[in-house]
Structure formats: structure tokens, C-alpha cells
Amino acid sequence: MNKFVFGLLVVITTSLMGSSFAIGKIGLIYSSPLLLVAFRFTLAGLIMAFIVLIAKQPHPTRVSHWLKISIIGFFQTAGVMGCIFVSLRMITAGESSILTFVNPLLVVILGTIFLKLRYRFLQWFGVFIGFTGVFITFGAHVDLKIGTLLGFLSAVSWAIGTLLIKTWGISLNVWVLTAYQMLFGGLILLAASFILEDPFFEITTPSILILLWLAIMASIVQFAVWFFLLQKGDPGKTSAFLFLAPFFGVLFGWILLGEKIEWFGYAGGALILVGIFFANWSS
């Protein structure tokens, strides 16, 4: 693939990842957090499920496979996005994005413990640098905010989802898995909304546009471009560019919300970005 096209697509997909934090925070003006993210992924999952059905992608025939997809949806969509959107009520979009994208570092640790995977020195160096950044970022608050904890838990849930996909995803079509894990995750979040919060959603032009952006651009388009890049290039090298996503999260938080982060937030965030890069870099 042409390097310019590759770079452009990397910027598009990581900027869409990062944009969801600031735009999601704006969306909380019109909706309760769990209901907003439930609508986002239920809608995205339905659209993608329709696409994979029309495209006649191979669907699972075993109940066990559907159960695995639903479990992945619980961690990859419900756990990650539920924690993110609730955290956005308490911390900035930039802080939430930085903490969420610690997940590649956690993948190295959890993969070593539970899957007995082996990682190179450079990847462990990235983990050390990254968690030094997490320590600094956590130290930005005299009292540990529940929003900060939720941001970190979103990364834990994402890491678990990543390892489940690595373990179970081999036997599943990647597009079918993506579609239905989003749908199942969205439905779990919908149920959680009515159990854990007082759900509300104001139907206005801005709220509908925000929902469509989150469901289509920041979910379907973002996933499609990311998977395309993973298929066309080296997955390890491509994944290294995930460090751009929290950068865009902070950037959009500043542009759209006027958020400011203290110097220790920038220092910790910079170390996390470096750590993510080394943890994913494959050459």
C-alpha cells in the first residue's frame, strides 16, 4: 500500500477513535451515559449485522460460538464503553482517553499471566514506561476520583476482550464477530441502563447527529478502516499507531470542550503514548 494512503488511513481511524470521547461527553448533555452508549452500539451492531448478512459472511452454527461472541461483547463493548461513558461524567475526555488506551500495556501483562505468551524486552520496556505514565497521571489527583478508576477499568476490560478475541476469534469471521459483539454489548448496556441509572434521551437535532456520528463514523467506519489496515499491513507495526488515539482524544477535548490538562497529565500521557508504541512495535 502507498505510504501516503496508509498514513492518511491511520490518521482517519485513530482520530475517529479519539473523537468519540469528546463528542460522547457532549452527548451526555442530552442523554444518560449508559443509554447513550447502548443506543450507539445497538444501532452500529444492527447496521453491521445487516451488512454481513447481505454480504453472506459465514455465520457461526454452534451455540458455543454465539456464547463466545456474547462474552466478548460483554467485555469489549459493554465493559469498555460503559466505563468510558460513565467516567466522562467525572473526568475530562482527554483523561478518559489516556487511561482507556493503556489497554495494550495490560494485554502484555495479562497475556503473560493467563495465556503464557512471550514478549520481547522492548515490549516489557514499553509496559514499564507506560505504567510509569499511569502512576503520574493517577497522581494528578490528591483524592482518587471514581472517574479515574472507571477510565482504568475500561482499559482492563478492553485488554480482557482483546485476549478473548486472540483466543476465540480464530474460528470466527472477523466481520461477523465485530458486528454481533457490538450488538450483544449494546443490548447488555441497554439492560444495564434501566437497572443502574435513570435513563433519559432528549430527541433533538444535536443529539441525533451525535448518536449517528458515534454509531456510524466512530464505530462502523472506524472499525472498517482499522481492520482494513490490519489486513493490508503488518498487524504489529499497524497496532503501534494506537498511540495516536489518546493524542486525538486530548486534542478533541481541547478543541471541542476547551479542556485543559495540568503539566503532570501531559507528562504522564506522553509516557503512556511512548509505552504503547514500544509495547506494540514488532520490528
Cα separation of the two ends of the chain: 19
Give the H/E segment covering residue 252.
Answer: helix 244-257
Q: Is the pLDDT of residue 142 over 50?
A: no
* Number of compact structural domains in the chain: 1
Confidence (pTM) = 0.89
| pLDDT tens digits along 230-241 | 777 766 667 777
The fraction of the chain above a pLDDT of 70, given in percent, is 95
3-state SS of the chain: helix, strand, coil percent to 5? 80, 0, 20
Q: Is the pLDDT of residue 141 over 60?
A: no
pLDDT-derived band of residue 12, with 50, 70 and 90 as boundaries?
A: very high
The one-character DSSP state at 182 is: H
The band of 245, judged by pLDDT with boundaries at 50, 70 and 90, is: confident
Cell of 179: 458486528
Place of cell 450488538: 183
Reference 131, options 98, 95, 161, 171; nearest CA is: 98
Predicted confidence band of residue 144 (pLDDT cuts 50, 70, 90): low
Alpha carbon distance 283, 272 (integer Å): 20
Better-predicted residue by pLDDT, 205 or 166: 205
Counting every residue written for the chain, the total comes to 283
Task: Please list the residues that pair with 201 across neighbouring strands.
Answer: 31
pLDDT at res. 143: 47
Q: Once rounded to an integer, what is the mean pLDDT over residues 73-85?
A: 96
Measured CA angle at 201 (ends 197, 205), to 5 deg = 160
- Which domain covers residue 168, as residue numbers? 3-280
- 3-class DSSP state of 31: strand
Instruction: Give per-residue pLDDT as tens, 173-198.
Output: 989 999 999 999 999 999 999 999 99
